């Protein structure tokens, strides 16, 4: 994922969208995903996708579980706008860091999977609901765990 220089208030704006996404109806979530996923909004979708990396930085705080949820929701909302490998790498780092900090990401992944798209996105090859439901079993997560352990 490309490194983004965030305007100071951008993470707060994304978090507000994510709360709307998480608390909206299925129809609202589909509308929001479609609007953000439109080709002319690709930069916005990529920026939202990158929020998983921003959330990762905030996992260690007292609101770690909230940021884990928001990070996974960002991946769901952005719905793999470009190359799935960028999304999976960022999500794997979020998941492994959450585990390292004592947070169990599996319930959050499964919760967000339920509200995620069931169609294949432009940048992916597996529907996001399936990716999130099974992500903790993916090789990219295991490889990220190994790299995390070797850095200690």
- For 26, phi then psi, to 5°, come to -60, -40
Contact in structure between 32 and 16 (CB atoms under 8 Å):
no
Mean pLDDT of the chain: 91
Q: What is the dihedral of CA 79, 84, 90, 95, to 10 degrees?
A: 80
**Each residue's pLDDT expressed in tens, for the chain with a length of 152 residues:** 445 566 778 889 999 999 999 999 999 999 999 888 877 777 888 888 889 999 999 999 999 999 999 999 999 999 988 889 999 999 999 999 999 999 999 999 999 999 999 999 888 899 999 999 999 999 999 999 999 887 76
Residue 27's alpha-carbon distances to 36, 60, 62, 116, 119, in angstroms, are: 14, 34, 33, 12, 15
Residue 79's alpha-carbon distances to 23, 37, 44, 51, in angstroms, are: 17, 7, 12, 12
Query: 90-130, pLDDT tens digit by residue?
Result: 999 999 999 999 999 999 999 999 999 999 988 889 999 99
């Amino acid at each position: 994922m490309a490194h983004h220089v965030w305007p100071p208030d951008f993470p707060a704006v994304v978090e507000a969208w994510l709360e709307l996404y998480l608390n909206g109806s299925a129809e609202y979530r589909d509308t929001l995903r479609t609007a953000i996923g439109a080709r002319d909004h690709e930069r916005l979708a990529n920026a939202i996708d990158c929020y998983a990396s921003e959330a990762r930085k905030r996992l260690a705080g007292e609101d770690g579980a909230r940021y884990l949820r928001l990070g996974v929701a960002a991946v769901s909302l952005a719905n793999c706008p470009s190359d799935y490998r960028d999304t999976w790498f960022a999500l794997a780092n979020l998941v492994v860091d959450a585990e390292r900090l004592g947070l169990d990401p599996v319930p959050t992944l499964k919760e967000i999977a339920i509200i995620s798209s069931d169609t294949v996105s432009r940048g992916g090859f597996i529907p996001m609901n399936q990716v999130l439901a099974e992500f903790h079993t993916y090789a990219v997560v295991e490889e990220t765990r190994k790299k995390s352990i070797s850095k200690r």
